[in-house]
Amino acid sequence: MKKTDLYKKLGLKIDDKLNKAGTPDRFAQGGVLDRKAQRKLDQAKGLIPFAVKLDAQLANELRELAQTREVDMNQLVDELIRKGMAI
């Protein structure tokens, strides 16, 4: 095996280790949960995923409303659906 081939393999090993390591907490500030942990928290709250397709304009209005009220999009949609079903 050539010396250059050994360096290529070493470089591939290093790249693989970096890709598997993930983002350090100092960059994510430790507040971001992985999908599995977030799913467990949602299940504990009794939440389930519910996907719908909305018009792009309506989705933008919902995002703006969530930002102005400073609430999570899930909380906003929950509130609006509950109000709509009460009628």
> How many residues belong to the chain?
87
**pLDDT for res 61:** 95
Answer yes or no: pTM beyond 0.85. Answer: no
Q: How many CB atoms lie within 10 A of CB 39?
A: 13
- When pLDDT is averaged across residues 45-57 and rounded to a whole number, the result is 90
Rounded distance, CA 73 to CA 62, Å? 8
Rounded distance, CA 11 to CA 59, Å? 44
pLDDT band at residue 77, thresholds of 50, 70 and 90? very high
Residue 32: left if φ>0, alpha if ψ -120 to 50, beta else—which one? beta
Q: Is the pLDDT of residue 17 over 60?
A: yes
**pLDDT for res 71:** 92
